[in-house]
Amino acid sequence: MSGDALRDHLATFGLSEKEIEAYLAVLKAGTATTGEVSRAADVSQGYVYDIAAALADRGLVTIDETQSPTVLRARPPEDAIGALSTRVEELGETIDDLYEQPADGGPPVEVVHSRATVRKRARSALDVADHEALLVVPAPEIEHLRTALADAQERGVFVYLLAVAPLSADALDEEWGRIADVARTWDATAPVHVIADETRGLMGAHGVLSGRHGEEYALAFTQREIGSGFFGNVVANFWPMGEDRHVTEPDPLPATYDHLRTAATNAALHRAAGRDLLADVTVTGLDSSERTYERVPVVEVRQGLVGDPTNDFPMENSLVFETPDGRVSAGNTQGGIRPFYEGYGATAVTLYSG
């Protein structure tokens, strides 16, 4: 990189012309006295101290006043770059905090490079979740999402959490029940996923939220079809690999749901405890016809998110009811993919003990 190009880059970080010349003088020599810096920057000896303080505040140099005359030392390149990177991240956070989403909602897919922005997108998705959230995140990242996860649970959002490498003793001692309804761990560097209501969230490289951030990035999305695709990827390829760390107790009965997958998960937990179930259910067919049944037996639960899988394929989450019209299988109506396999989608389910 030419000297002029370096000057231009330093100027973008807010360094004045005199500060740039002073810094380059120290950088090239490794150390420089205040007199040498004064001559290089063409400023008075008194002003050199103001420049030196400004460069030290930016993390570019250190000031040694134990010597006479005072000596400025260039910080190692990795430290100087780290200091500048921190300023960029802080700037990114400030801009992100002030940013107002355009009235048209913005693009359905956005490429995000900043770790701070990825974290904010993850929290934002959790903050607006209504029904469920599915996450695959490095275990240390849970600390940054703890409040958003706890708040989501308080609102009744059902949280599925897969914590991946790097795992530690601390990670295994998390109070899982306060941040997730179902929590698993897997000692692998799986890609990051945060999916809320199969509608919004993000997917990115593991490194975007773990270790030293490099060229990794994430895709933030606000489109059902994309969310459903990422959801299917997680439940097919990553979720089954996890080891259970926490599984919530099922909701007390009777319990009413407008989200079939949450109903199916709770039904699976009740049946695993040996309980027979009845249901009031309203289903809508692919032809938009609607049927309502009262106190019909739940004869099958087809799912793979808790306990032993009972589904035929990863995305299958359905309840099968014994009705006067024969057996009716109902899937979820909330995601981007319609219940093509079951033929019906459940819009409301109330489970009772049988």
- Stronger pLDDT, 295 or 4, i.e. the higher one: 295
**CATH code reported for the domain at 3-83:** 1.10.10.10
Q: Residues 190, 162: contact at Cβ < 8 Å?
A: yes
Q: How far apart are CA 20 and CA 42, in angstroms?
A: 12
Report the pLDDT value the prediction gives residue 88, as an integer from 0 to 100.
67
Under the banding of pLDDT at 50, 70 and 90, the label for residue 191 is very high
Is the whole-model pTM more than 0.85? no
Count of CB atoms situated within 10 Å of the CB of 77: 9
For residue range 198-228, list pLDDT tens digits in order.
999 999 999 999 887 678 899 999 988 899 9
Domains 3-83 and 104-247 belong to one CATH topology: no
The domain 255-353 having CATH identifier 3.40.50.11690: the answer here is no
Q: What residues are paired with 352 via a beta bridge?
A: 278
Domain boundaries, the chain: 3-83, 104-247, 255-353
DSSP assignment of 162-222, as one string?
EEESSP-HHHHTS-GGGT-SEEEEESS-PPEEEEETTTEEEEE-GGGGSSS--S--EEEE-
Under the banding of pLDDT at 50, 70 and 90, the label for residue 14 is confident
Q: Domain 104-247: which topology? A: Endonuclease; Chain A (3.30.870)
For residue range 307-343, list pLDDT tens digits in order.
999 999 999 999 999 999 999 999 988 776 777 788 8
What would you report as the CA-atom Rg of the chain, rounded to the nearest whole angstrom?
Answer: 28
Report the pLDDT value the prediction gives residue 328, as an integer from 0 to 100.
94
Position 99, amino acid? Y
Report the pLDDT value the prediction gives residue 240, as an integer from 0 to 100.
95
The answer to which of 60-69, 90-99, 264-273 has the lowest mean pLDDT is 90-99
